[in-house]
């Protein structure tokens, strides 16, 4: 198989298992291509120079599977590089929670034995697309996790006039608004009180960030519905964060959020169950009294 490898380039401890990964892939006779930035990090910072078939310098690459080694942030960056290529992505988790990158370093050998035998499954994850009517967005407008509208300064909240399929929903007076896919429901959305959503539920969650009114609550809608947002701010600008990539936007812009016309394919082990992962990561059922 032909693999494209991306990794965390900022924290050495998150890439210490890279040498084991390359050894396992070579044992299976894999053709290995590595993101040049990650390769440079491995050689200069970790003093490890793996033998590879080539380096990936831009988004023009092909592979049977993409491997990202790091945390969920590394997975999101890899997903952005993959885009519409329909290349499945496997995440090796050397971060913390790891809902996307959920294969532990200790499971690598067994996992690639299964992949070599074709014993794995691929899950399609929906993507959100952002459009603005007044100005061209500088960054990638596609989000696997969420699109967040946030106040730019620390002095006052913003007003977000929200319509769904042309019908007025409400005006959120808050620090911001998080529009999340089911995949992103365990990320930023969860931290601001949003619901946990099963990955294949075909829904979108809309969750306010620190709303002025206690009556305002998260709402879950169908993912084939269109969301339009008009933002008012005392500073006349606000922030848009697309999977954590933020940029400033001027007041008066009408933002449209809809489901994109493609999905990201996530590689999962056949024995991995979402509820098992959820229970483990969230520590449901753990009795803190027994933890010394």
* Helix (DSSP H) and strand (DSSP E) numbers for the chain: 6, 17
pLDDT at residue 20 in the model? 92
Quick: pLDDT tens for 233-257.
988 899 999 999 999 998 888 999 9
Residues annotated as catalytic are 72
Provide the residue ranges of all domains of the chain, joining segments of one domain with +.
2-119+270-290, 127-262
The pLDDT confidence band at residue 269, using thresholds 50, 70 and 90, is very high
Using CA atoms of 27, 28, 33, 36 in order, give the dihedral in degrees to the nearest 10.
-30
Q: Which residue has the tokens 């690459």?
A: 61
Q: Taking the alpha carbons of 131, 193, 291, 271 in that order, is the dihedral positive or negative?
A: negative
The pLDDT confidence band at residue 284, using thresholds 50, 70 and 90, is confident
219-222, strands of its sheet edge to edge? 219-222, 203-209, 176-180, 146-151, 237-242, 245-250
Domain 127-262: CATH architecture, name and number where available:
Sandwich (2.60)
Across 5-14, 31-40, 199-208, 282-291, least confident range: 282-291
Quick: pLDDT tens for 171-208.
999 999 999 999 999 999 999 999 999 998 999 999 99
Half-sphere exposure of 155 (CA within 13 A, CB side): 5
Q: What is the pTM of this model?
A: 0.91
- Give every CB contact of residue 87 below 8 A, 6+ residues apart in sequence: 4, 62, 63, 64, 65, 66, 265
pLDDT at 261 exceeding the cut of 70: yes
Looking at domain 2-119+270-290, which of 3.60.20.10, 2.60.120.280, 3.40.50.10330, 3.30.750.80 is its CATH number? 3.40.50.10330
pLDDT at residue 46 in the model? 86
The pLDDT confidence band at residue 96, using thresholds 50, 70 and 90, is confident
Across 32-36, 94-98, 180-184, least confident range: 94-98
CA 88/CA 123 separation, integer angstroms: 9
Give me the chain's average pLDDT, please: 92
The answer to whether 24 touches 112, Cβ cutoff 8 Å, is yes
The pLDDT confidence band at residue 292, using thresholds 50, 70 and 90, is low
CA 149/CA 143 separation, integer angstroms: 13
């Amino acid at each position: 198989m032909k693999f494209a490898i991306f990794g965390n380039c900022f924290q050495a401890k998150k890439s210490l298992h890279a040498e084991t990964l390359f050894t396992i892939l070579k044992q299976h006779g894999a053709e290995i291509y590595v993101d040049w930035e990650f390769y440079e990090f491995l050689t200069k910072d970790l003093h490890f120079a793996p033998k590879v078939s080539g380096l990936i310098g831009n988004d023009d690459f092909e592979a049977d599977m993409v491997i990202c080694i790091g945390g969920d942030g590394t997975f999101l960056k890899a997903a952005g590089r993959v885009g519409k290529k329909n290349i499945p992505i496997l995440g090796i988790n050397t971060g913390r929670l790891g809902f996307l990158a959920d294969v532990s370093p200790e499971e690598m050998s067994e996992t690639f034995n299964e992949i070599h035998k074709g014993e794995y499954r691929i899950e399609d994850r929906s993507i959100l697309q952002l459009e603005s009517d007044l100005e061209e967005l500088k960054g990638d407008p596609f989000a696997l996790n969420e699109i967040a509208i946030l106040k730019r300064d620390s002095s006052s909240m913003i007003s977000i006039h929200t319509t769904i399929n042309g019908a007025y929903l409400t005006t959120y007076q808050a620090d911001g608004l998080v529009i999340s896919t089911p995949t992103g429901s365990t990320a930023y959305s969860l931290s601001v009180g949003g619901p946990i959503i099963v990955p294949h539920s075909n829904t979108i969650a809309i969750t306010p960030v620190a709303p002025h009114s206690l009556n305002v609550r998260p709402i879950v809608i169908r993912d084939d519905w269109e969301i339009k947002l008009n933002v008012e701010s005392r500073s006349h600008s606000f922030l848009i964060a697309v999977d954590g990539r933020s940029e400033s936007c001027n007041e008066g812009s009408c933002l449209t959020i809809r489901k994109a016309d493609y999905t990201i394919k996530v590689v999962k082990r056949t024995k991995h169950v979402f509820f098992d992962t959820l229970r483990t990561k969230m520590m449901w059922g753990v009795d803190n009294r027994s933890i010394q």
